[in-house]
């Protein structure tokens, strides 16, 4: 019987961090499944999902916690078995001029309609032609079945207009 472990890790970026984590996972009988990792403002930040035989989970967690002696901070949680989420999957792409509050405004529109953010990536960059600060978001969403396409599109059209961004919803 397998169990899932969700691990977040953050620490001063340096070569070998992913290697240190992956070595402990493999040595502990775990299998690295899904992950998101990035260098952000000089810090290494990672989020990952590991599968491990249930009888080896405690030893693997203890081994991973030993990375804290190497300057990493970790949060480790056991996954819970859950039924697949109800609803339909949507893809959201947004691009526009950067300004504070974009994520707040979008997440508020989603939360008020009971839409769950399952995966989200954002990026800040300078426009190649204009040199202006731009913001980009890509997200996978889970929307309730009873939420109509018309209601959803109207909400995002108003939001796109207010934020002055381009939003594509598929």
Q: Indicate whether 93 and 139 sit together in one domain.
A: yes
Confidence at residue 159, expressed as pLDDT on a 0 to 100 scale: 81
The last residue of a domain, from among 12, 46, 78: 78
Confidence at residue 130, expressed as pLDDT on a 0 to 100 scale: 67
Instruction: Count structural domains, the chain.
Output: 2
pTM for the whole structure: 0.82
Q: Indicate whether 15 and 57 sit together in one domain.
A: yes
Q: Indicate whether 112 and 64 sit together in one domain.
A: no
Q: Give me the CATH number covering residue 165.
A: 3.30.70.260
Confidence at residue 170, expressed as pLDDT on a 0 to 100 scale: 80
Q: Indicate whether 28 and 69 sit together in one domain.
A: yes
Confidence at residue 3, expressed as pLDDT on a 0 to 100 scale: 96
Confidence at residue 150, expressed as pLDDT on a 0 to 100 scale: 86
Confidence at residue 151, expressed as pLDDT on a 0 to 100 scale: 87
Q: Indicate whether 117 and 140 sit together in one domain.
A: yes
The last residue of a domain, from among 53, 78, 103: 78
Taking 3-state DSSP, the helix, strand and coil percentages for the chain, each rounded to the nearest 5, stand at 30, 45, 25
Q: Look at residues 48, 46, 42, 45 and name the one whose alpha carbon lies nearest to residue 25.
A: 48
Confidence at residue 163, expressed as pLDDT on a 0 to 100 scale: 78
Q: Indicate whether 94 and 162 sit together in one domain.
A: yes
Does residue 83 sit within a domain?
no
Q: Indicate whether 116 and 74 sit together in one domain.
A: no
| Strands of 22-155, DSSP E | 31-40, 43-53, 73-78, 88-97, 116-126, 133-143
Sequential pLDDT tens for the chain (170 residues): 999 999 999 999 999 999 999 999 999 999 999 999 999 999 999 999 999 999 999 999 999 999 999 999 999 999 987 777 889 999 999 998 888 889 999 999 999 999 999 999 999 988 767 678 899 999 999 999 999 888 888 888 888 887 788 888 88
Does residue 156 sit within a domain?
yes
Q: Indicate whether 65 and 96 sit together in one domain.
A: no
Confidence at residue 131, expressed as pLDDT on a 0 to 100 scale: 73
Confidence at residue 82, expressed as pLDDT on a 0 to 100 scale: 77
Q: Indicate whether 94 and 66 sit together in one domain.
A: no
Q: State the Cα–Cα distance between residues 60 and 55, nearest whole angstrom.
A: 10
**Strand, coil or helix: what is 11?**
strand
Q: Look at residues 6, 10, 9, 2 and name the one whose alpha carbon lies nearest to residue 29.
A: 2
Q: State the Cα–Cα distance between residues 41 and 29, nearest whole angstrom.
A: 33
The last residue of a domain, from among 78, 103, 127: 78
Q: Could you list the residue range(s) of the whole structural domain that residue 125 is in?
A: 88-169
Confidence at residue 120, expressed as pLDDT on a 0 to 100 scale: 95
Q: Indicate whether 36 and 56 sit together in one domain.
A: yes
Does residue 97 sit within a domain?
yes
């Amino acid at each position: 019987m397998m169990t899932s472990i969700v691990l977040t890790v953050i620490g001063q970026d340096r070569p070998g961090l992913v290697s240190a984590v992956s070595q402990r996972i493999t040595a502990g009988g775990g299998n690295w499944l899904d992950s998101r990792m990035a260098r952000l403002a000089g810090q290494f930040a990672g989020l990952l999902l590991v599968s491990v035989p249930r009888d080896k989970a405690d030893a693997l967690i203890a081994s991973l916690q030993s990375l804290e002696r190497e300057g990493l901070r970790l949060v480790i949680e056991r996954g819970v078995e859950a039924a697949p989420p109800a609803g339909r999957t949507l893809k959201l792409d947004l691009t526009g001029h950067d300004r504070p509050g974009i994520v707040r405004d979008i997440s508020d529109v989603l939360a008020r309609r009971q839409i769950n953010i399952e995966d989200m990536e954002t990026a800040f960059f300078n426009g190649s032609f204009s040199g202006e600060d731009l913001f980009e978001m890509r997200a996978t969403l889970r929307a309730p079945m009873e939420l109509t396409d018309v209601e959803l599109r109207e909400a995002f059209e108003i939001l796109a207009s207010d934020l002055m961004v381009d939003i594509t919803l598929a």
